[in-house]
Amino acid sequence: MRRHPRLVAIGVGALLISTFGLAACSSPTVEDTSTQYCDSLDTISQELGTLADLIAADATLEELAAQRDAVRASVTAAKDAGADLDAAASAAADDAGAAFSDAVDAIPGGASLSDATAGYSAAVDAYEAELAAIVSDAGCS
Q: What is the DSSP letter of 107?
A: S
Query: Given pLDDT bands bounded at 50, 70 and 90, which one contains residue 83?
Result: confident
Return d(Cα 126, Cα 94) in angstroms, integer.
14
Cα distance between residue 69 and residue 67, in whole Å: 5
Span 11-20, pLDDT tens digits: 444 443 444 4
pLDDT in tens, 97-125: 999 999 999 999 899 999 999 999 999 99
Q: Show me where the domains of the chain are located.
A: 29-138
Distance, in Å, from the CA atom of 104 to the CA atom of 100, rounded to the nearest integer, reads 6
pTM above 0.85, yes or no: no
The DSSP symbol for 28 reads P
Higher pLDDT, residue 105 or 21 = 105
List pLDDT tens digits, range 52-65: 999 999 899 999 99
DSSP structure class, residue 139: T
**CA-CA distance, 9 to 60, in Å (whole number)?**
68
Cβ atoms of residues 131 and 122 within 8 Å: no
